[in-house]
Chains A and B, each alone.
Chain A
C-alpha cells in the first residue's frame, strides 16, 4: 500500500519536466538504486535501478548530464537530470567517487577497491569519457578536490592516512603527505585544502604549497565530508560517528554552530532556500536541516543512502560533487 502511494505521482503520469518540480536524486548504496523524489511531497517519482553498489554522483559542467558511479557494478550511469531518464551506461572499473575539474574538461574517478585513480577527458558534446591516465596513490583513494586552475587534483587516501596531489598535466603523483587517520572528504577553500579526518574528530587545514597541516578544527568524531554553502556562506562538515553537522565560518573557519543530526549524516546538497538535504547513512533516511532554526525532518529512502542532489529547474543545483569545488 505504501509503495503504491509513493508511486502515485508516477502513475498519474508526472514527469520531472511536466511537473516543473523541485526534485532530489538520492543514491542508495545498499538497495541499490537511485530514487528521484518530489521535494514538496517527498513522494517517489522514479526509481532508477542500479546493478550493485552506487555511491557518489557528479553533475556535468553544463548541468545536462548526471553521472552516478556504481562501484560494485563497474559502471557509470549517465542520467538526464531534467527528466530522470537513464541515457546510457559505460563500463568503468569500480567508480567509487567522481568529480569534474573546475574548467569542465576532465573527470577524476577514484577506484576505492582497486587502489587507483583514473583521469578522464570529458567530451561535453557527446557526453563521453576518454581515459588519459591512471595513478596509484595508495590504499583506498576516496574523495577528490581541485586547485581552481584545474592543473592539480587532490585525493584523500583513506588506508594510507594521506592526501595525494596529482599533476593533471603530467598525470603523475606530484606529492603525498600524511594528514591523519582515514581522511575522507576534501575541498579547496581560499588557497587551503580542508580535509575531514574520519578516523579522528577534526578537519585538517592543509597548506598545499608548504605541504603541512596548519591547523586542526575539532568538529566531532568521524569527521567526514565538507560542503561550502552557496554564495560564500558557511562551510558545513558532517561527522558520522557523533552524528552532527558543524557550520564553520567561511573566513576564519571558526565553529559557528553545531547541529545534531541522528543517523550518520554523509553527503549534503543545498536547496535554493539555503536548507541542507543530507543522506543519513545508517538509518535508511534523508534529512532536511534548516540552518536558521536547527530543525531536522527526515524522510524514508533506500538502504544506506549516500550521494544526493537537489535539482530545481532554472536554478543552479549543487551536489556533493559541485559543492566541493
Chain B
C-alpha cells in the first residue's frame, strides 16, 4: 500500500513538473532552478496534503468535544483564508530563493576559509547509518529553535506587535495556527529555513518535518477539550497545553507554554503550566477590534501600524 501511494505521488509530481512547472521555468528563463524547483514542488504538493490531513484529524475532534460553541463563525472564516494563503502560497518559496542566494555567498566564503560545513550525521558518530535517529534529532533541534522564536515573539515589543494578531482570536480553532502577519511569517520562514540549512537538514526530509510540525501545531489550536494525560502532556503539546498559552490572562510577556511540539523545552526553561483541567477563554483583552474581528487585509494593515509604532518606541495603541 505504501509503495502504491509513493508511486501515485511520484506519478502526480512527475506529471505536474513536466506539463506545468518546467515549461513555465523555461518560458521565464529560469531553467537553472529546474532541479531545485523539482525538489521544492514537493512543498506545494505537501501544502495541499497538510490541509487535508489537518482537516481530517482536527475537524472530527472539534465536532466531538468542543470547548466552546459559537453561532457566528465569521472570524473563523478569516483564519481559513490565512491557512490557504500560508500553506499554498509563495512565502516558503520566497524564503528559499532569498536563502539560496545568501547561502551561495556564505558557502563560497566558508570554502575559502578551508572549512567544510558539517552535517549532524558527520558530527555525531552513529547517526550516519541511522537515518531515523538522525531525523528525530533534526526535529528536536528545529523544535528547540521554534520554542525560542516563540519566546522572542512574546518578549520583543516590535515582534509582539506582529504576533498579537495571532493571539487576538477569541474563537480559536485548528485554522488559527496560520493566523499571522505576513512579516511575521517571513521571519518565521527565514528562522526555520536558516536553522535547517545551518544544521544540514536533508532537503528530502524537510517537507516531512514541516508536515509533522504543522499537523501538531494545528491540532494544538483545535477547539477541543482534549488532554493527553499526565505523562502524555509532558511528551507532546496537546490542545489543552496550548490553549493555556492562548488564554486571556496569558497574552504578551506573561505567556506560558511556548513549546510547539515537545513540552520538554517549557519544562527545562520553567515556562510550563501543566494544569490539566483548565480550558480558558482565548484572546488578548488589549487587542483592538480590527485585530479581533477584521478580515485578512484589515488585520495586516493594523499589524503593520502596530509594528511601526513599536519600532518608534510608542505604545501599541493610540
Which residues of A approach B to under 8 Å, CB–CB? Answer: 2, 29-32, 49, 51-53, 72-74, 91-94, 111, 113-116, 134, 136, 139-140, 158-159, 181-182, 198-199, 221-222, 240-241, 243, 263-264, 281-284, 303-304
Interface contact B35-A113, CB-CB below 8 Å: no
How far, in Å, is B2 (CB) from chain A's closest CB? 11
Is B14 in contact with A115, judged by CB distance below 8 angstroms? no
Known interface pairs A51-B121, A222-B34; 17 further A-B residue pairs with C-beta atoms within 8 A, sorted by A's residue number: A29-B35, A49-B129, A52-B200, A73-B119, A111-B111, A114-B104, A116-B108, A116-B111, A134-B112, A139-B104, A181-B31, A182-B31, A199-B31, A222-B26, A282-B14, A282-B22, A303-B10
- CB neighbours of B23 from chain A (8 A): 241
List A contacts of B128 (CB < 8 A). Answer: 51
Q: DSSP class of A's interface residues: helix, strand, loop or mixed?
A: loop
Count of inter-chain pairs, beta carbons less than 8 A:
108
Q: How far is the CA of A51 from the CA of B120 in the complex (A)?
A: 10
**Structural contact, A140 and B32, CB atoms closer than 8 A:** yes
Q: Beyond A93-B116, A221-B26, A283-B14, is A72–B202 a contact (Cβ under 8 Å)?
A: yes
A13 to B104: give the CA distance in the assembly, Å.
44
CA distance A37 to B118 in the complex (A): 31
B interface size (C-beta, 8 A): 36
User: B31 contacts A284, CB within 8 Å?
Assistant: no
Which one, B35, B108, B129, contacts A111 given CB within 8 A?
Answer: B108
CB of A280 to closest CB in B, whole Å: 9
Query: Closest chain A residue to B39 by CB distance?
Result: A30
B85 at the interface (CB under 8 A from A): no
Contacts known (A51-B202, A74-B119, A282-B38); A93 close to B111, Cβ less than 8 A: yes
- A–B Cβ pairs within 8 angstroms, 29 of them: A2-B3, A29-B35, A32-B202, A51-B121, A51-B122, A52-B202, A53-B203, A72-B203, A73-B119, A73-B200, A74-B119, A111-B107, A111-B108, A114-B107, A114-B108, A115-B108, A116-B111, A182-B32, A199-B31, A199-B32, A222-B26, A241-B22, A241-B26, A263-B14, A264-B22, A281-B38, A283-B10, A283-B14, A284-B10
CA distance A40 to B10 in the complex (A): 26
Cβ of A284: which chain B residues have Cβ within 8 Å of it?
A: 10, 14
- A243 closest partner in B (C-beta): B18
Q: Contacts A51-B121, A114-B104, A222-B22 known; A198 to B38 CB distance under 8 Å?
A: no
| Residues in B lying within 8 Å of A, measured CB to CB | 3, 10, 14, 17-18, 22-23, 26, 29, 31-32, 34-35, 38-39, 100, 103-105, 107-108, 110-112, 116-119, 121-122, 128-129, 200, 202-204
Whether B29 lies near A199 (C-beta < 8 A) is yes
Given A52-B200, A114-B108: A240 in contact with B22 (beta carbons within 8 A)? yes
> Which of A53, A136, A159, A303: most chain B CB closer than 10 A?
A303
A181 to chain B, nearest CB (A): 5
